[in-house]
Amino acid sequence: MNRDLGDYRKSYQKQELVEGNVSDNPMELFQKWFHEVDSNYDVDETNAMTISTIGLDGFPKGRVVLLKKYTYEGFIFYTNYESEKGRAILANPNVCLSFFWPSAERQIIIKGKAEKIAENLSDGYFESRPRGSQLGAVVSNQSQIIKDRSVLETRLKELEQQYEGKEIPRPEFWGGFIVKPVEIEFWQGRPNRLHDRLRYLLDEDYNWQLDRLSP
């Protein structure tokens, strides 16, 4: 197999990112960009983001998850705490989140520290999920090897019968993480590959310092 992709090229020229037009707080710029992309561009899941962790085997690994809430404090998503991802985060909370919205020619790259959110917050979100998603969280021993798909289907049928007409409690192994950012970079595609890169860095006094990075 040998395929040369060197002729895959695109000219970036939709927007610009300049210091005079951004907030002092990167979370406000994140909210602005998220709203603009969600409202004006054809993106299936604006909240899809890649989270990269350092695994227990020492290798970095990225996978796509869904952002479920963001505040001035950070970015919240939900997962199985006993999954490969969950165990990696609990062992090393330093993670990276990245959003890529190609139709807007924008990226956001976030370095931060992840920690579990309060149990009552995980309870509240779990209760809001569709019943099928609740059952799916209970069924799956995420990241564990299984013989075949029938293992999941059989377990799902058993749980459907067990919880028929009943509330499904949140399993203790499932809940939310919040990623509290220490660095956020906003990337806007520009012509001639001279892209705009603005980086917010949290200093020791918890103030955000803004710098422009060379592309």
**Quick check: helix, strand or coil at residue 138?**
helix
Q: Which residues contact 200 (CB under 8 A, 6 or more apart)?
A: 26, 183, 184, 185, 208, 209, 210
pLDDT score of 180: 98
Catalytic residue among 63, 87, 155, 193: 193
212 classed as catalytic: no
pLDDT in tens, 6-58: 888 888 888 999 999 999 999 999 999 999 999 999 899 999 999 999 999 99
Position 4 pLDDT exceeds 90? no
pLDDT score of 12: 82
pTM, rounded to two decimals: 0.93
pLDDT score of 14: 86
pLDDT in tens, 152-205: 999 999 999 999 999 999 999 999 999 999 999 999 999 999 999 999 999 999
Separation between Cα atoms, residue 176 and residue 130, nearest integer Å: 17
Angle ∠(44,45,47) on CA atoms, nearest 5: 160
N-term to C-term CA, the chain = 32
Separation between Cα atoms, residue 116 and residue 80, nearest integer Å: 11
Token pair for residue 214? 């060379």
Cβ atoms within 10 Å, residue 25: 14
Token pair for residue 41? 């561009």
Answer whether 83's CB lies under 8 Å from 92's CB.
no
pLDDT in tens, 111-128: 999 999 999 999 999 999
pLDDT in tens, 69-82: 999 999 999 999 99
Which one, of 49, 143, 60, lies nearest residue 94 by Cα? 60
Q: Could you tell me the sign of the dihedral formed by the alpha carbons of 188, 101, 185, 54, in that order?
A: negative
Position 105 pLDDT exceeds 90? yes
Separation between Cα atoms, residue 73 and residue 54, nearest integer Å: 23
Helix, strand, coil distribution of the chain in percent, nearest 5: 30, 30, 40
In the chain, where do the E strands start and end? 48-54, 60-66, 69-70, 75-80, 94-101, 106-116, 174-188, 196-202, 208-212
pLDDT score of 207: 97
Angle, in degrees to the nearest 10, between helices 131-139 and 150-162: 120
Angle ∠(92,53,67) on CA atoms, nearest 5: 110
Single-letter residue type at 173:
F
User: How many CA atoms lie within 13 Å of 55's alpha carbon, on the beta-carbon side?
Assistant: 10
